[in-house]
Amino acid sequence: MTTPVPRIVVPESVRKGEAFTVKTIISHPMETGLRKDEHGSVIPRKIINRFACTYGGVLVFSVDLHEAVSANPFFEFELVATESGRLQFVWEEDGGALYGLSHDLVVE
Amino acid sequence: MELTRRELLRSVCAGTAALAGAALPPVSSIAGDDALAFVEKTFDRGATMSSRVQLTMPSVFPTGYTVPMDIAIDTAMTDNDRVRSVRVFAPGNPLLEVAGFNFVAGRSVPRVSTRIRLAKPQFVVAIAEMNDGALLANKVWVDVATDGCA
C-alpha cells in the first residue's frame, strides 16, 4: 500500500466569532476486511478508524470511522473562530499508524 | 365454469397483490426496525424520529462506492441544548455502522459532509445523541445501482 497522503483546505484568516469551513481528505483504500484476493483468501481489514481535529490544543471535532466510509475519506465540517491558534488534524489507521497535518489560523 | 387465460392471469395477479399487501409491512417500517432495534441494543434505550436530524442523500445514485451524505442537526449548541454525537447506520450493509461524528458546543457547528459505501438500495439511519441523553433519529431512502461493499 502506498503511504496515505492527507490534505486540508482551511482559510488563512477568519473573523472572530464566525464559523469557517474545513475540508479534509486522506488517500487511503479503506480495506474493509470483507474482500478476497485472487487466491480466495481474505484481504485483512485496514481502515482509517479515527479522525480528530484540535484547535489551540482543544478537541473540537472528531469522527469514528467504520468500514462503510468510502475510500479516500473526505470530511467537510465547520468550526467557530475563537482565537488565533494552531489547527491540528490527525488520522489514525488500524495498527496504530498516525498521519497528521497542521495549520496556523489567524483570527482577526 | 370455463376459465380463460386472461381471467386466470387476472385472478392470480390480484391474489398475489393481496398476499403481498398482507404479508409485507410497509417499506418504511422495515427500514427503521433493524436499525432502531440495533440502536436500542447499542445505546440501551430507544430513539425517536425527529426532523431536527437533517440527513441529506441522493435518492438515486449510480454507484454504491461513494454516496454523498450531508448531516445537520437543528440545535443552537448552547449548554442546555446541544448535540454530542451523531451515529450513522446502513442496515442493508454487511456491517451496520457507518460512522460517528462528535461535535463540541461553541467550537464546532453541528454539520458534516462525507461519502459512504452502500451495498444495496436501503434506508440510511442517523441517530443524534443530545446533551440530555435523548436519541433523535431520521432516515432517508437511497437507491444505489451497484454494490459499494464488494
> Which residue type, as a one-letter code, is found at position B82?
R
pLDDT tens digits for A69-106?
Answer: 999 999 999 999 999 999 999 999 999 999 999 999 99
- Cell digits of residue A82: 475563537
pLDDT at B17: 45
Residue A32 with chain B: CB contacts under 8 Å:
95, 149
Q: A57 burial class (0-12, 13-18, 19+ CB within 10 angstroms)?
A: exposed
Q: What is the pTM of this model?
A: 0.84
pLDDT tens digits for B20-71?
Answer: 444 444 344 444 566 677 677 777 888 888 999 999 999 999 999 999 999 9
Burial per residue of B113-149, b for 16 or more beta-carbon CB atoms within 10 angstroms, e otherwise: bbbbbbbbebbbbbbbbbeeeebbbbbbebebeeebb
Q: Do A68 and B118 touch (CB under 8 A)?
A: yes
Assembly ipTM:
0.96
Q: Do B106 and A68 touch (CB under 8 A)?
A: no
